[in-house]
Amino acid sequence: MNLDSKIEELFSRSETRYGEEYFRAFDELKACLNEGLIRAAEPDVTSPSGWKVNAWVKKGILLGFRIGRIIETHAGEFTFYDKHTFPLRRLPPGKNVRLVPGGSAIRDGCFVGKDVTCMPPMYINVGAYVGEGSMVDSHALVGSCAQIGKHCHLSAAAQIGGVLEPVGALPVIIEDEVLVGGNCGVYEGTIVGRTAVLAAGTILTGSTPVYDLVKDAIYRRDGAGPLRVPEGAVVVPGARAVTQGRGNDLGLSLYTPIIVKYRDERTNGAVRLEELLRGRPPGV
């Protein structure tokens, strides 16, 4: 039986005692997640969003929580309690991943690509995918099943939300070469298109419209489809006036992200400077 079929079959059971077949299947799932052989979501040119959800992978992760027992672990003087099925990830030395000391953690069952840099303290949760050459800066979070592309920068305190349940829901997607500024938050299955830039403090959710001043357009979540920020967009925090009722009387406004431009040579120059500071030749 293929792994996906096995996970589906085990997940559907209502047992309270778990034999070796559960743990064998779950260990295989984690190994495949660690190597990037399977993903909670993956590119799909036939999908309107460009991505598809692999619900069976999410079911496998949830199965790991179901079958796990809480154990005590130690890191120096500190004591932690978590499911034994989700230890910390061991990183192979050949991938040249920098995990700088200072309180960071990467949970087992996620992919961390070659030449990724992790600045403390940061956290990468189970099911996540972080592409090669990306940086996860201090106090940044990569939530469960979030997908981060190649050569991205998640700046200090950036929060990339996790979407583990419902299993059919698309997780947050950050495509290749995206710059996510400090204190940004991306949630509810939002897709940030390739080479986009999110200015510091930008918040994107499924229910927040994005106003494009360049193309005179408004982007929203379309029914069951996700909110998608266009490729190359430069998004900044903004506000729109409340035009009716008491909000109008009080002169109030609501937060909204605004696209003020698209990537140009000036924006690209800032990114190239960042690459040089990180010791990587531009475009590599």
pTM confidence score: 0.92
Q: What is the pLDDT along the chain (284 residues), one digit of tens a residue?
A: 799 999 999 999 999 899 999 999 999 999 999 999 999 999 999 999 999 999 999 999 999 999 999 999 988 888 999 999 999 999 988 899 999 999 899 999 999 999 999 999 999 999 999 999 999 999 999 999 999 999 999 999 999 998 999 999 999 999 999 999 999 999 999 999 999 999 999 999 988 899 999 999 999 998 778 999 999 999 999 999 999 999 899 999 999 999 999 998 776 766 655 555 455 544 44
Residues 167 and 35 in one domain: no
**89 lies in a domain?**
no
Dump pLDDT digits (tens) for 136-171.
999 999 999 999 999 999 999 999 998 999 999 999
The C-alpha atoms of residue 156 and residue 146 are separated, in whole angstroms, by 17
The C-alpha atoms of residue 87 and residue 104 are separated, in whole angstroms, by 14
pLDDT score, position 8:
98
Domain that holds residue 133: 96-277
DSSP annotation string for 120-158: SS-EE-TT-EE-TT-EE-TT-EE-TT-EE-TT-EE-TT-
**73 lies in a domain?**
no
**239 lies in a domain?**
yes
pLDDT score, position 284:
40
Residues 112 and 11 in one domain: no
**125 lies in a domain?**
yes
**86 lies in a domain?**
no
Query: H or E element: which one contains 42?
Result: strand 41-43
**82 lies in a domain?**
no
Give the residues across from 71 on adjacent strands: 82
The C-alpha atoms of residue 158 and residue 155 are separated, in whole angstroms, by 6
pLDDT score, position 74:
87
DSSP annotation string for 177-199: T-EE-TT-EE-TT-EE-TT-EE-
Residues 109 and 215 in one domain: yes
**22 lies in a domain?**
yes
Residues 57 and 102 in one domain: no
